[in-house]
Amino acid sequence: MVNQYHEDLLKKTEQQRHNTEVFFKKLRDRLCLIFEEIEDKSGHLYKDDKPGKFIQKKWKRLGGGGGLTSIMSGRVFEKVGVHISTVYGDSPKNVTSDENSKILNGKFWATGISVIAHPKNPHIPAVHFNTRMVMTDKYWFGGGADLTPVLEIRRTQEDQDTIEFHEAMEKSCHKHKIADYGKFKKWCDEYFYLKHRNEIRGVGGIFFDNLCSNNIDSDFLFIKSVGNNLIDVYPKIVFNNYEKEWTEENREEQLIRRGRYVEFNLLYDRGTKFGLSTGGNVESILSSLPPIVKWP
Amino acid sequence: MVNQYHEDLLKKTEQQRHNTEVFFKKLRDRLCLIFEEIEDKSGHLYKDDKPGKFIQKKWKRLGGGGGLTSIMSGRVFEKVGVHISTVYGDSPKNVTSDENSKILNGKFWATGISVIAHPKNPHIPAVHFNTRMVMTDKYWFGGGADLTPVLEIRRTQEDQDTIEFHEAMEKSCHKHKIADYGKFKKWCDEYFYLKHRNEIRGVGGIFFDNLCSNNIDSDFLFIKSVGNNLIDVYPKIVFNNYEKEWTEENREEQLIRRGRYVEFNLLYDRGTKFGLSTGGNVESILSSLPPIVKWP
């Protein structure tokens, strides 16, 4: 089935789509470099463990496109994945990534980046970030970033990490017409919520979808801003905490808290469900799951 | 809303419902006793660990009824849950436990038992079992039992454990008109299947739902038979394996394989989804999740 609106949109936005892909790739490179530098600099903390190095794997999508997974099992970052993909083809039927942004029967094109880091030290919060550009017969951007401290005592809105993260996300929305920080923050709190436990997953951040002001260039500036602010704030939060000593009890609490992360991702996360049900790359989708988890 | 069919059915089946509840409770007692005996007898294998003891907790359901969880963290059984519940009230709206057995808008009553054991020794397979009796304006039985060896080398149809388990399940169907072993075995293979990984969860067993021959007593004999055969075969399988030595590699493989168990239960399992979305007891529903899991 040829969808003329879609074909026209793809042609018209060729340069912008290319720029978005390039930005995501460079962001991936910058993030991986920073994470590896942190690994290298932590020799005084983990004398017996070698610094981690990212391992990259290409994958192809049956229906069209593919991506590249970058996964590291390190000493500061027990597991971290930084993935990019560009996929296209026939829109999956009967599946929508969002009830508000139904993917039409027809063709789609999408490019995105996703990051999830599970540090070993229970004082360092886990972080999740992703942004994407989607085209059917219209375009939109979606994504977000949120922080998950794993120790109860650090899971507060008054914690320094939480404050810094929120400030960075607020800053990322600054001066961008399309970005309503208050709305995106609330959306994040509502989205990352475990109904069955009556618990939020982390301490929040921002979440957004269906962003389309009909000015791609302007909307894209916001998407860049989220990525740039994330890459600015998370390493700071890591450095704030990575020399802190932890106890067996802290580690146990972390492993149990990680179980909630798994529960959220498998029970509720739209991206996970969407990816798995549309033949996405299992390795990159489920690389969000923490390396070791306990349900005692 | 009064549903006269439902009220009449409940009255008419009072003795049979009572008998089912009593059978499930006695089965729970027998299972817990056997599991604790195995713990007690394993002192020569786990000198540093104490034998596990079941801890029981009552819970009440907001809409009516409740249950009792029995959970043990032991040395042979790293985590095992044996739960019974009897719940009733208004049928959950927009939720069905099975597309073939729509719970009608109206009242329901249900009683059930569920068992899940995650042994520590990677040579001992995990087991899952549950049976239930449900009444809306008709009655039906559902349930099943399936075995999950965690070492690739033991996950075959030729393995002695697999053979013994299948024999026991076939025997449980023997001479019961309502029980079509071939159908139930196939149903189990189809149900415990991880689409996104193109993998079966374990090595199979039986799975059934909507069983109703309009002779409750006769159908109940089959349900009893499944429970009695499970209690007969699983301890044998434990004893076949529990003295086998295992390596670090075996343990690692077990922890990774357990991840598939989590993926299945949270992504696909109807009981889990049904329970969590209808305000069931989170502790008993998610007690199926293994004690330690790895996604390296």
- What is the three-class DSSP state of B101? coil
Residue whose C-alpha is closest to residue B114's, from B161, B76, B69, B62: B69
Locate tokens 């021959």: which residue? B213
pLDDT of residue A212: 96
The partner residue sitting opposite B295, judged by closest CB among A267, A286, A294, is A286
Q: Using pLDDT thresholds of 50, 70 and 90, give the confidence band for residue A104.
A: low
Catalytic hit among A6, A128, A166, A176: A128
**Cβ contact, residue pair B292, A294, below 8 Å:** yes
A123 among known catalytic residues: no
**Cβ contact, residue pair A296, B79, below 8 Å:** yes
| Long-range Cβ contacts of B180-187 (<8 Å, 24+ apart) | B181/B206, B183/B208, B184/B144, B184/B208, B187/B144
B53 in contact with A, Cβ within 8 Å: no
B221 in contact with A, Cβ within 8 Å: no
Residue ranges of B 55-94 with Cβ closer than 8 A to chain A: 73, 79
Q: Quick one: average pLDDT of A132-143?
A: 94
| Model pLDDT for residues A107-124, shown as the tens digit of each residue | 889 999 999 999 999 999
Rounded to whole angstroms, the Cα distance separating B19 from B86 reads 13
∠ CA B223-B37-B265, nearest 5°, is 50
User: CA nearest A294 in B: which residue?
Assistant: B292
Mean pLDDT per 10-residue section of chain B, whose length is 296 residues: 82 97 98 98 92 96 92 97 93 54 70 97 98 93 98 97 98 96 98 95 97 96 98 97 96 98 95 82 92 97
Is the confidence at residue A292, as pLDDT, over 90? Answer: yes
User: What single-letter amino acid sits at B215?
Assistant: N
Report DSSP state, residue A287. Answer: G
pLDDT of residue A1: 55
**Cβ contact, residue pair A292, B291, below 8 Å:** no
Percent helix, strand and coil across chain A, each rounded to 5? 45, 25, 30
Write out chain B residues lying below 8 Å of A290, CB-based.
Answer: 295
Is the confidence at residue A207, as pLDDT, over 80? Answer: yes
Residue ranges of B 269-288 with Cβ closer than 8 A to chain A: 273, 276-277, 282, 285-287
Structure-token pair, residue B78: 């790293």
Rounded to whole angstroms, the Cα distance separating B261 from B198 reads 14
Q: First CA to last CA across chain A, in angstroms?
A: 52
Rounded to whole angstroms, the Cα distance separating A269 from B27 reads 38
Radius of gyration of chain B measured on its C-alpha atoms: 19
| Model pLDDT for residues A210-244, shown as the tens digit of each residue | 999 999 999 999 999 999 999 999 999 999 999 99
Q: What is the pTM of this model?
A: 0.93
Residue whose C-alpha is closest to residue B37's, from B17, B21, B51: B51
Rounded to whole angstroms, the Cα distance separating B237 from B282 reads 29
Phi/psi at A11 (5° precision): -65, -50
pLDDT of residue B276: 86
Does the domain at A4-288 match CATH 3.40.1500.10? Answer given as yes
Locate tokens 């809105």: which residue? A157
Boundaries of every domain in chain A: 4-288
Cβ partners under 8 Å of residue B216, min gap 6: B13, B16, B139
Cβ partners under 8 Å of residue B293, min gap 6: A262, A292, A293, A294, A295, B255, B258, B259, B261, B262
